[in-house]
């Protein structure tokens, strides 16, 4: 099984380049993104008059690209979600995300510069307007072919559009123009990963780590690539390095737990995922990986409890159909033990994960019959007939369907 299909990994963001401002400098525009980022923690000097320029109460309700951490009069201290380098910015230089396109359009009308097209293109990208973003970035590169940021941003969009070779070409140009920017290597690594060029992807991650060994994402991405390349020991080591940087990272804990599971060391999977759940009780993927580990250890009750929690937190969480069939095997065992409640739960999970497996519907239909829930039994038997693969199987299920339908007439 391709482990990366089970692993929801975090996506790195390319941020607007900013320089620290001095009092005499013109204000630098900051785009506040209301859609894509976690809520910030904000601490504002109560003696400042920052509210005259930007309302902190409104900022708290937004999801921002740059978080406000301090204020002195009209100067705001901002810190990015990723780069973690605080900068003092004049309040007049802050622009709402939703107003950013018109903001840059006015500047472009007055002076059509490459950097302004790049910034507007990045805002279009954040809005999901990829074709408009590409048009702006094309123009930025036409005006200045030595702008690393424009190549980088355009390469990211090509990657989203699955134009992988174009993405690699643009990201390579960005790296050529700015070889000390680790995000160029990391984004190119992810494109190589999609193309299953694992050696190239790993090499790019290693280069990014050498540039900035204190950023956990480089280790996380290299570990994820190692999982997909079936190099589980390498993945475990890299997730361990990431955890040295951030011991509370649920991404690293769940990732390492997944790697342990691929090695068959399910006790370690349970330990790492349990720790992730302690740090973040709403981490659905941690419950899912725990469920799979408990299932392999044949502790079906704990497995059911964990998979139910995962589904409740995130209905889109979906292990492979093979895991569903393993739940069906557990259901059959409980049916033999006459524990029909657990068997019913296991069948329901199995149907959710393997929705075209006729025997699962047949088994749950029999439990419905025992409960005298004839309508539900009939529905399950009809599904079983639809997915049955042999005439003999269909004939057997038709007999059970007739029993359910006769019960409805009584």
Distance from C-alpha of 37 to C-alpha of 58, rounded to nearest angstrom: 15
Closest CA to 353 of 286, 307, 386: 307
Distance from C-alpha of 278 to C-alpha of 248, rounded to nearest angstrom: 9
Distance of CA 51 to the CA centre of its chain: 35
Q: Does domain 322-409 have CATH number 1.25.40.10?
A: yes
Per-residue model confidence (pLDDT) at position 14: 20
Distance from C-alpha of 233 to C-alpha of 239, rounded to nearest angstrom: 10
- Are residues 42 and 66 in contact, defined by beta-carbon separation less than 8 angstroms? no
Planar angle of CA 242, 244, 250, nearest 5 degrees:
55
Q: Which two tokens stand for residue 156?
A: 């990211």
Instruction: Kindly report, as residue ranges, where domains of CATH 1.25.40.10 are found in the chain.
Output: 322-409
- With H, G, I as helix, E, B as strand and everything else as coil, classify residue 154: helix
- What are the backbone angles phi and psi of residue 162, rounded to the nearest 5°? 60, 25
The DSSP annotation for 381-405 comes to HHHHHHH--SHHHHHHHHHHHHHHH
Distance from C-alpha of 377 to C-alpha of 199, rounded to nearest angstrom: 52
The per-residue pLDDT string of the chain (410 residues; one tens digit each, 9 = 90 and over) reads 333 323 222 222 122 222 222 333 333 333 433 333 333 333 333 223 332 223 333 333 233 355 666 777 767 676 654 445 666 766 666 666 667 788 889 989 999 999 899 989 988 988 889 999 999 999 999 999 999 999 999 999 999 999 999 999 999 999 999 999 999 999 999 999 999 999 999 999 999 999 999 999 999 999 999 999 999 999 999 999 999 999 999 999 999 999 999 999 999 999 999 999 999 999 999 999 999 999 888 888 898 899 989 988 988 887 778 888 888 988 998 899 899 998 998 999 999 888 889 999 999 999 999 999 999 999 999 999 999 889 888 999 898 888 888 887 76
- Are residues 393 and 387 in contact, defined by beta-carbon separation less than 8 angstroms? no
- Are residues 331 and 350 in contact, defined by beta-carbon separation less than 8 angstroms? yes
Per-residue model confidence (pLDDT) at position 301: 85
Distance from C-alpha of 361 to C-alpha of 232, rounded to nearest angstrom: 36
Per-residue model confidence (pLDDT) at position 99: 76
Label residue 134 left, alpha or beta by phi (over 0 means left) and psi (-120 to 50 means alpha).
Answer: alpha
Who's near 119: CB < 8 A, 6+ residues apart? 16, 29, 31, 104
The reported pTM is 0.72
């Amino acid at each position: 099984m391709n482990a990366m299909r089970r692993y929801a990994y975090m996506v790195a963001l390319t941020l607007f380049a900013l320089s620290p401002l001095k009092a005499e400098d013109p204000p630098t525009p900051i785009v506040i993104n209301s859609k894509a980022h976690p809520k910030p923690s904000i601490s504002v000097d109560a003696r400042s008059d920052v509210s005259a320029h930007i309302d902190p109460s409104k900022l708290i309700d937004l999801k921002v690209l740059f978080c406000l951490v301090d204020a002195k009069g009209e100067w705001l201290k901002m810190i990015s979600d990723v780069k973690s380098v605080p900068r003092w910015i004049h309040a007049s230089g802050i622009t709402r995300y939703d107003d950013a396109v018109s903001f840059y359009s006015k500047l472009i009308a007055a002076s059509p510069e490459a950097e302004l097209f790049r910034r507007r293109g990045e805002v279009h990208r954040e809005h999901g307007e990829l074709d408009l973003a590409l048009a702006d970035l094309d123009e930025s590169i036409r005006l200045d072919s030595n702008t690393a940021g424009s190549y980088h941003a355009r390469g990211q969009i090509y990657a989203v559009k699955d134009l992988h070779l174009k993405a690699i070409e643009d990201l390579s140009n960005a790296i050529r123009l700015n070889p000390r920017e680790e995000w160029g290597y990391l984004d190119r690594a992810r494109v190589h990963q999609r193309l299953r060029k694992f050696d190239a992807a790993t090499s790019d991650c290693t280069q990014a780590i050498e540039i900035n060994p204190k950023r956990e994402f480089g280790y996380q991405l290299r570990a994820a690539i190692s999982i997909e390349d079936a190099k589980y020991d390498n993945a475990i080591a890299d997730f361990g390095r990431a955890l040295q940087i951030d011991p509370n990272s649920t991404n690293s804990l769940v990732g390492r737990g997944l790697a342990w599971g691929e090695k068959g060391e399910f006790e370690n999977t349970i330990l790492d995922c349990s720790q992730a759940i302690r740090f973040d009780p709403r981490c659905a993927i941690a419950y899912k990986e725990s469920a799979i580990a408990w299932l392999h250890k044949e502790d079906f009750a704990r497995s059911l409890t964990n998979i139910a929690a995962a589904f409740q937190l995130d209905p889109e969480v979906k292990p492979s159909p093979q895991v569903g069939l393993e739940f069906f095997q557990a259901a059959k065992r409980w049916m033999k033990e006459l524990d029909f409640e657990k068997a019913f739960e296991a069948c329901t999970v199995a149907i959710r994960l393997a929705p075209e497996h006729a025997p699962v519907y047949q088994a749950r239909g029999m439990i419905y019959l025992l409960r005298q829930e004839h309508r539900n039994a009939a529905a399950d038997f009809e599904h079983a007939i639809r997915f049955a693969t042999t005439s003999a199987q269909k004939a057997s299920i038709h007999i059970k369907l007739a029993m359910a339908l006769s019960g409805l007439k009584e």
